[in-house]
A and B are shown apart, each in its own frame.
Chain A
């Protein structure tokens, strides 16, 4: 078995085991697994609109996944993608509302500001990781909560649309990220995500800095010995990862919701991290993983209407996937204890 194929097959087996366990759970709650899986498929891919709906769910998972991939490649764990997404989305909305600019340019500035906001949000964890070696897992996780609560606070107390629910005013149409089709909210964000996945993959493979970061991610001491400026690269990798997390928020804000509100995009950051983990930090693989999770999400919406199974079943299946994939990764890494120590240590 080739070295590149082995993890893919391992991952596939892990997903298969999770689905098998999911089948058992479905039977325990008294539904027909065949009906459930058929409905999931129908809900995810049953018509053009449904496929578009699946891709709509896939987009933020994909972009968040790429953000996570970037950090994984450098041997770092940005678990704060969720927070960067919220900050990016919020910042893009503020630009969309208050900074009237010509169409197109307005959107670009909004996206840019979203990325800057994501970057700013990870800057403190990144600084402390680079300078004082403070564990970024903990600091980025904590920063999630702050971001979600802070944006919610801003929305309610400073930018709330008069009279409405907890949401801001809508952004100006000049800031819209254009939709791809008339029948769906699916927008250019998907194209951005796909292009970004390819770009990141090529970057790590073909540029000097990408190479340095990859090596740093696999063996930090070797990279240090080889002359890679570790602190600087750690800082930059986390900033880049945060920027992409912010981008995910910008896409959701300017492409889908056109405003900021409570429940803006909860969980996508975490799904993205898991998708990236499932893809072993490979951006191209993350496309597949994100599509898988996106399909589960959109399929589950129909599941709830057309069967007696609750949507929570999908949460259970997802949790099972996470478990079996992490178990699989641990098992694979155990044979190589130096590597296990180095990378998957949290």
Chain B
């Protein structure tokens, strides 16, 4: 088998920090090659070098056996590479088809030929089983669909070697399975796939070969068939990690959050949450499961004051906050880890310290009077970075220079350190490595033990099963049923998530 990609001794430094330290990588043509490693191990950096987004400080790149200089993504695309980034780069105000052809518009005589673009998007979408509506505006779509568009973009540019950076981080198990189907389709047609993931079961399930990176160096490349999940964990973090259900005391606290017949609309004005009611008690983790796009995100936004409710109420400690501002809700004791960290969770242009300050800029000791005490902010930020294992040069590092997982940890550090009675946690371990996932899970359990009420929204069923006391399943804006966390099967959850009713007292919802 020939080599689709060969990297020899790639070195990439940021200042004095070495993100890739003499990395060799061989990807054979027609294989699915997984790359794993902790947050900040240098996976994204390595792929950015390959794709011409970063210039290496040393080393060589060979595509199809020929050495080339990848001066920019254009050169990479010309060489047959395509990349779907960890954070999407779509233009929200344009349609799907316009995004797919952005920068390479199909046109006649200087005019964009929208018809042709739509037709071609439809064709690609059909051929590769990536369902989209080419005429829809991207800003209104869910992340799952945005990813399909990113893949279509790559395909439209004629890529034969496709790089996906944590493609499954934003997907539901169902969507992930579909994606893998698509990826297998690609290799069946002779293409080559490189993908980065933190989910080892995905590595085991779809990849032919796996490479482990650690602290900027390559640990090893192995045929997937020759390794076990535990081997990989050992290679990545140097110890074993467990994701079994956490032991716990039964919760006994009073009701903190009480939601009654809550409704809201999505960005298009259609009902997204359609009359949900539930309580969350102190010292309890209530999980919300569901395929992405069934109202979970909108529910979280209503509960944090970012989206108006169209009907119903929610109370915290008995206080009606349905029409309250985000500020007021925060002041009542709510912390919120948002589902989309790049849009809501951080300001990428600011430092870690400035990100951690958000929400406390009026509160002593962070601020004295109306003046911010940056010395305190830095000091506290450093402490939190240590506690949450944020790997960066210091509190002044810009968030945009962080790896995806570390960005997420900054969000968690900020929100979990608020003295909040109610934690609204949306996809807390999205893009986080297994070692850090374990410590985030520990942190959530610690918060639970401290008597906080926690609403955990996740598309990761194993995460819900490991953490939740009760699991509510959302489908189409409704709560389809409630399952106890300690005796739930993925099958039962899966049925509810698909909209199939199980309780005898409920009418079926199609």
Contact = CB atoms under 8 A, between A and B. Distances in A.
The answer to A–B direct touch (Cβ < 8 A) is: yes
Contact of B354 (A215, A221, A337, A339): A215
B349 interface: yes
B451 interface: no
A170 to B, nearest CB: 42
A17 B361 CA distance: 42
B361 A212 contact: yes
Interface in A170-187: none
Contact of B361 (A208, A225, A336): A208
A207 B368 CA distance: 9
A312 interface: no
B215 interface: no
Contacts of B330: 226-227
Contacts of A226: 326, 330, 358-359
Given A219-B348, A337-B89, A225 B338 contact: yes
B311 interface: no
Nearest to A3: B398
Interface in A189-229: 206-209, 211-212, 214-215, 218-219, 221-229
B484 interface: no
Contacts of A223: 347, 358
Interface string B334-352: 0010100011111111100
B509 interface: no
Contacts of A207: 370-372
Contacts of A221: 343-344
A222 B452 CA distance: 24
Interface residues of B, number: 37
A341 B336 CA distance: 25
Nearest to B396: A3
A214 B89 CA distance: 23
A211 B370 CA distance: 10
Interface residues of A, number: 25
Contacts of A214: 350
A338 B327 contact: no
A244 B434 CA distance: 53
A119 to B, nearest CB: 21
Nearest to A202: B371
A219 B336 contact: no
A341 B91 CA distance: 7
B408 to A, nearest CB: 14
B364 to A, nearest CB: 11
Contacts of A337: 89-91
A234 to B, nearest CB: 15
A208 B361 CA distance: 5
A336 B347 contact: no
A209 B370 contact: yes
Contact of B374 (A206, A215, A219, A224): A206
Given A218-B349, A222-B345, A225-B306, A211 B357 contact: yes
B350 to A, nearest CB: 6
Nearest to B329: A227
Contacts of A336: 348, 400
Contacts of B92: 341
Contacts of B374: 206
B419 to A, nearest CB: 15
Which 4 A-B pairs rank lowest in CB-CB distance, beginning with the nearest? A227-B327, A226-B358, A219-B347, A208-B361
12 contacts: A207-B372, A208-B367, A208-B372, A211-B354, A211-B361, A219-B349, A222-B343, A222-B345, A223-B358, A225-B306, A225-B336, A226-B358
Given A218-B348, A222-B344, A229-B325, 14 more contacts: A206-B374, A207-B370, A209-B370, A211-B361, A215-B347, A215-B350, A218-B349, A219-B347, A219-B349, A223-B358, A225-B344, A227-B326, A229-B327, A337-B91
